[in-house]
Amino acid sequence: MKSDSADLQRLGLIWILFYCAVGVLAVRLVYMQILRHDVYTQVAEKNRTQVIYQNAPRGRIYDRNEVELATSRPAFSLIYLPGKKQDARFLEDLADSLAGELHAEKEDVLESLKDAQREQTAIHLAENLSLKSMMRLSELKTIFPGVELIVEARRHYPGGALAGHLLGYMGKMDKGAWRRLKDDGYRVDSWIG
Q: How far is CA 126 from CA 30, 55, 150, 151, 156, in A?
A: 46, 14, 11, 12, 17
Averaged pLDDT for residues 173-182: 74
* pLDDT per residue as tens digits for the range 65-117: 888 888 888 888 888 888 766 777 888 888 888 888 888 888 888 888 888 88
Residues 188, 129: Cα–Cα separation, whole Å: 20
User: Which CATH number applies to 61-192?
Assistant: 3.90.1310.10
* pTM over the 0.85 mark: no
Residues 173, 154: Cα–Cα separation, whole Å: 16
Averaged pLDDT for residues 113-124: 81
Domain assignments of the chain as residue spans, ordered by start: 2-48, 61-192
